A and B are shown apart, each in its own frame.
Chain A
């Protein structure tokens, strides 16, 4: 066989093998076997020396072309096989992406604390700052300086827990008003969120609950301002169209005093069990700071006026989340707590 023929048959053999190559490893073998330093093409070319210069030149050209062609083919095949190999690798890495994840899931808020914070934030955005006070209080701050004298029936409005150290568990957040006004001169605009305590034993009350108290003292603060602030607040909690009414009431530390009702959010005012058929829900108490309170903290009631308001958080949280039993709020059955995902 002459060299030309040999090269021709080598070409056919290599092309056939390249076509049959299944993987990169096989392809590499082919490259080494035919095009390597000790490969078949090299060994064929070694015999070139025996030929005439013309033949050598001709065969040399053919061989080089063959080499280029084969290398090109191998490269092309390589691309194809690489693609295939990647495909296989990806396939091997297949995972059921619906499997449960392996990371901690964020926890959630307690509905009462969430509501307390939301309400605090609303007042903060109106320019009130947050003040807090102790939960164990002097009767002086919890009652006396708030114009609730001892042996006045007004003390019956709040059943008090008495402590063995002569103090009480605060029955409302109102002592924070006193503490603030003793320290700070007007203008004052604060809200005081916090825990409060009353000795109520029936199933619709909890002996510990949460309140937020608001106080604004300055020159020229009026009842109309109080209405304005509370209207903005109630609308941002219960929606723009919520009906609001102010009923005159009595609190020793405000005069005039009022209770504020909103249209029942459960029945829309038709009357239901929650609103006891009245169509209204009592939501907060408020009024103009009583001059006696101002006198107790050395603020001149002839120069300054102010308003105060207070509301119970549990009631609002229960309305908001349609919680039916107040006791659920403090049992901490985690099946209850886990329901409140995505709230502040």
Chain B
């Protein structure tokens, strides 16, 4: 909200600099910035337009004659709203408008001696249509800087928190500023008389209207408002329309009380405040047709809805130039009801904004009478009838603030006398009692101040939080835990970083398309009111996001990418924190080297075993043994992808992207994707399960490390080579080897060669050791023989290679 300081001063004898006021408002809870209204412009005067003619040569231009009372000017303008007899602001030679100096200019064979100015050219509005036309109560031939108050007044730009509807008016701000600086607010009350000639029929069929007061005024003249009203509206960022509408806006700004004026001649029968009918339609003042529901409240006559209560008026009863009789409405509607309607219809007006935040029901007659006073003064007419529907008058709630509570919450005792003083300054009637104060909450703070704690805040904020000293709490040791899961995640992150991967952060919502490309079912959880369709699906894996990062980087020819992300994936009842990696292209971008017989390359490209190696290295860090089984994930290479298991629990996968997917996605074929399930986060607060298929749980539950004596007896080594089927997964053979004798300490694969005819030769280096004695050659020979026999029974066609 924009609030001119000069207007506030009508309610407050204050001459502090505006900056000081703004600073204090900020310190006590109302966000405020301050700026000057316009800037002084030399050589601008008010002139009366005497004559307007079309330019004979140039389309859309007008040749005007204007006078400042002594001198006549010829001015050429393109403004279509230029009108004979009106007063305009003329920039004469030497004026500087938007950085340009005004000089006489020729348009065709006519010369323009100056320029009529718009609000935009005056530096007041960001954009405006047409030139500024001033009402006839403005003098001609005077410095326009004085008329427009340029460069003098200060404008506060106020942003209130939702609880401070009371500060959404000039009067309310004056009250707040007065309280801060200890200045008593002043007010000129309206003097009006309303004849009881015409009965006003108002009927409320809903309990969502708390007060409704209608006044009938006849014989009004709708015309432009006097300049002082117009200028205040302009300073507050409003556009003047006509005197009746302007006055309703003026009072809304000044008093915070929304008003509405109906053309009485268009109302049939009595005024009814009722729920709208489902599907009932109304064309609003901005010309849009809105469909209403039964949750909305309307002001209606006996035939049709006239306005959406508290939100916006209807076109069918609006004030027009020929309007002569009006119904002036002032009401207070239920804040929640207004909010629901405004939200649903997506209409945010000054009126709905204020109703949602609370309107001072007790100030309603005062505000409305001020409007009436102005109408009678500027539009003429007579007030001929009035009705005030106010069935449940406001009764102030009493709230007690104990002295000790200020100490308990703020840490510093504010004496009851000081509290009472502060609250009374805020116009909250407060008296001291033995152990504190009791406040009677006035209507303008009814929504905000209900409890003791609210009063603590009131006195605290006015006193200023900056004036409280700082202390340090004694955090109890009982509340402390080591945050193991968090540390586990940090350690994982450090691992990937240390091993050459760059951390990325991607959006957790992705597109449906990527799932289709990946041949995965689209996850069920979606954002209904998404910003972008491509950000509407809550992902259930990280690969869909990481591939996007690669695509993004391909735009900059960065196809060597080693990245990781630790982030959330989403499922029906829970969330999973995963570590995802994407590896593509080279991870060492080296050089080729040749010297004599020596030649090598230092470059390293990702391949399946290297990609898997990253995970293996991580498992080694954790001390966890895993098993790889061929994966069936549809977006991975069918023969170069593996699911990762720990004791039959699937905890992740690693693999090469499927060549077809790589082509579709336009990413390199040599791209590897992997994910690990780190942690489980339940959405259900009662769910205390710790599912075991997460690395954190596996890590946490693994047996503690216990030192084992170093071996006392020597090891015996033997090399063994077998011929087996080409397709045999060697891990199976290795596992069987390890199982086949408890004296085997280590099995190391050192050679594979493909013989052809579906066979391969594989060689192992075996280490045997007995913890209790030295093994003899004969003993080892016997063990080896048993092992080979065992393997032959387990693996069909396995042969020992002699040699």
Is the A/B pair a real complex? yes
**Cβ–Cβ contact B503 & A113, under 8 A:** yes
Interface size class of A (residues with CB under 8 A): 35 or more
Min CB distance B533 to A, Å, is 13
A33 to B463, CA, bound (A): 110
Does residue B500 face the partner (Cβ distance < 8 Å to A)?
Answer: yes
Check A99/B591 contact, CB under 8 A, given A104-B500, A290-B453, A333-B553: yes
Tell me, in angstroms, the Cα distance from A151 to B338 when the chains sit together.
Answer: 9
A216 on the B face (CB < 8 A): yes
Q: Find chain A residues with CB under 8 A from B466 CB.
A: 245-246
- Asked if B587 is an interface residue, CB under 8 A from chain A, the answer is yes
B410, A224: Cβ atoms closer than 8 Å: yes
- Cβ distance A334 to chain B, nearest Cβ, rounded Å: 5
Asked whether A157 is an interface residue with its Cβ less than 8 Å from the other chain, the reply is: yes
Q: Which of B529-587 contact A (CB under 8 A)?
A: 529-531, 535, 538, 549, 552-553, 556, 558, 561-564, 567-568, 570, 572, 574-575, 587
List of A residues within 8 angstroms of B113 by Cβ: none
Query: Once the chains bind, are A333 and B681 in contact (CB under 8 Å)?
Result: no
Closest-CB distance, B740 to chain A (whole angstroms)? 37
Q: Are A187 and B411 in contact (CB under 8 A)?
A: no
Cβ of A335 under 8 Å from chain B = yes
Known: A152-B162, A332-B552. A134 touches B528 (CB 8 A): no
Establish whether residues A103 and B683, one from each chain, have CB atoms under 8 Å apart when the complex forms: no
Within 8 A of B (CB), among A176-205: 179, 182-184, 186-190, 195, 199, 201
A225 and B472 in contact, given A120-B486, A132-B681 (Cβ under 8 angstroms): yes
- 1/0 per residue, CB under 8 A from A, across B341-375: the answer is 00000000000000011000000000000000000
Known contacts A109-B497, A164-B525, A246-B466: does B507 contact A117 (CB below 8 Å)? no
Contact with A224, one of B412, B480, B549 (Cβ below 8 angstroms): B412
Is B164 in contact with chain A by the CB < 8 A criterion? yes
Known: A199-B531, A222-B471. A107 touches B408 (CB 8 A): no
CB–CB B356/A130 < 8 A:
no
The answer to whether B465 touches A221 (Cβ under 8 A) is no
B502 contacts the other chain (CB 8 A): yes
- Contact assessment for A208 and B507 in the assembled complex, using a CB-CB cutoff below 8 Å: yes
- Greatest chain A CB density within 10 A among B499, B507, B683 is at B683
Cβ 8 A contact of A216, one of B469, B475, B604: B475
Q: A224 touching B468 by the CB < 8 A rule?
A: yes
Q: How far is the CA of A224 from the CA of B406 in the complex (A)?
A: 11
Interface segment among A22-30, A41-49, A255-263: the answer is A255-263
Are B558 and A162 in contact, with the CB atoms below 8 A? Answer: no
Contacts of A110 in B (CB 8 A): 503-505
B478 in the interface, Cβ–Cβ < 8 Å? yes
User: A157 with B162: in contact, given A106-B497, A107-B496 (CB under 8 Å)?
Assistant: yes
Contact A106–B499 (Cβ < 8 Å): yes
Contact (Cβ within 8 A) A162 B528: yes
Q: Is A1 an interface residue (CB 8 A)?
A: no
How many residues on the B side are at the interface (Cβ–Cβ under 8 A)?
Answer: 98
- Flag if A221 contacts B473 (CB, 8 Å): yes
CB within 8 Å of B: which A126-160 residues = 126-130, 132-138, 141, 151-154, 156-157
- Interchain CB contact under 8 A, B486 and A130: yes
Question: B526 in the interface, Cβ–Cβ < 8 Å?
Answer: yes
State whether the Cβ of B287 lies closer than 8 Å to any Cβ in chain A.
no
Give the residues in chain A near B409, CB-CB below 8 Å.
Answer: 222-223, 256, 288, 305
Mark the stretch among A63-71, A79-87, A228-236 that contacts chain B.
A228-236
Do B531 and A201 have beta carbons less than 8 Å apart? yes
Q: Are A107 and B501 in contact (CB under 8 A)?
A: yes
Q: Report whether B479 and A129 are in contact in the complex, using a CB–CB cutoff of 8 Å.
A: yes
Report Cα–Cα, A161/B503, bound state, in Å: 26
Across the interface, do B685 and A183 meet the contact criterion of CB distance under 8 Å?
yes
A102 CB within 8 Å of chain B: yes
A/B pair count, beta carbons within 8 Å: 263
Asked if B498 lies at the interface with its beta carbon under 8 angstroms from chain A, I say yes
- Nearest residue (CB) in B for A103 is B588
Q: Residue A332 contacts which of B461, B482, B486, B563 (CB distance < 8 angstroms)?
A: B563
**A334 near B162 (CB under 8 angstroms)?**
no
Residues 230 to 289 of chain A near chain B (Cβ within 8 Å): 231-232, 245-250, 255-258, 276, 278, 288
Q: Are B590 and A248 in contact (CB under 8 A)?
A: no
**How long is the Cα–Cα vector from A162 to B536 in the complex, in angstroms?**
10
Interface string of B483-508 (1 = CB under 8 A from A): 10110001001001111111111111
A245 to B28, CA, bound (A): 11
User: Does B435 make an interface contact (CB < 8 A)?
Assistant: no
CB-CB < 8 A to B479: which residues of A?
Answer: 127, 129, 184, 186-190, 218
Most buried by B among A107, A258, A337: A107
Task: Kindly state the separation between the CA atoms of A153 and B570 in the bound complex, as whole angstroms.
Answer: 30
- Contacts of B475 on A, CB cut-off 8 Å? 126-128, 187, 189, 216, 218
Residue of B nearest to A276 (CB): B33
If A104-B588, A153-B339, A222-B409 touch, whether A134 touches B683 (CB-CB below 8 Å) is yes
Residues on the B chain within 8 Å of A222, using CB: 407-412, 471
Q: Is A163 an interface residue (CB 8 A)?
A: yes
Q: Is A329 an interface residue (CB 8 A)?
A: yes
Instruction: Indicate with 1 or 0, residue by residue over A159-175, a CB within 8 angstroms of chain B CB atoms.
Output: 00111110101000000
Contact B471 A255 (CB under 8 A): no
Of the listed residues B504, B558, B681, the one surrounded by the most CB atoms of chain A closer than 10 A to its CB is B504
Q: B339 to chain A: which residues have CB within 8 Å?
A: 151-153
- CB pair B468 A335 closer than 8 Å: no
- Bound: A167/B572 CA distance, A: 11
Residues A162 and B504 in contact, CB atoms below 8 Å apart: no
Cα-based distance from A249 to B27 in the complex (angstroms)? 9
| A53 beta carbon closer than 8 Å to chain B | no
Chain B residues, Cβ within 8 Å of A221: 473
Q: Which residue in A246, A278, A305 is a CB contact (below 8 Å) of B33?
A: A278
* B500 lies within 8 A of A117 (CB): no
B507 near A330: Cβ-Cβ < 8 Å: yes
Q: Is the CB of B460 within 8 A of A256?
A: yes
- Give every chain B residue within 8 A of A208 (Cβ-Cβ): 507-509
A107-B563, A151-B340, A256-B410 known; 20 other A-B pairs, CB under 8 Å?
Answer: A107-B503, A109-B493, A110-B504, A135-B508, A136-B538, A136-B683, A141-B685, A162-B529, A195-B508, A199-B531, A208-B509, A218-B473, A222-B412, A224-B468, A224-B469, A247-B31, A248-B457, A248-B461, A249-B29, A337-B502
A-B residue pairs, 5 tightest by C-beta:
A222-B411, A224-B411, A250-B161, A248-B29, A248-B461
A interface vs B, CB < 8 Å?
A: 99-100, 102-110, 112-113, 117, 120, 124, 126-130, 132-138, 141, 151-154, 156-157, 161-165, 167, 169, 179, 182-184, 186-190, 195, 199, 201, 207-208, 216, 218, 220-225, 227-229, 231-232, 245-250, 255-258, 276, 278, 288, 290-291, 305, 329-335, 337-338
24 interchain pairs (CB within 8 A)? A100-B591, A107-B501, A117-B490, A120-B486, A132-B485, A135-B568, A136-B575, A136-B683, A153-B357, A161-B527, A195-B567, A195-B568, A224-B411, A227-B465, A246-B466, A250-B161, A255-B454, A256-B456, A330-B505, A330-B506, A332-B552, A335-B558, A337-B563, A338-B502
B residues with a Cβ closer than 8 A to A are: 26-29, 31, 33, 161-164, 336, 339-340, 356-357, 407-412, 451, 453-454, 456-457, 460-461, 465-466, 468-473, 475-483, 485-486, 490, 493, 496-509, 524-531, 535, 538, 549, 552-553, 556, 558, 561-564, 567-568, 570, 572, 574-575, 587-588, 590-591, 602, 604, 681-683, 685
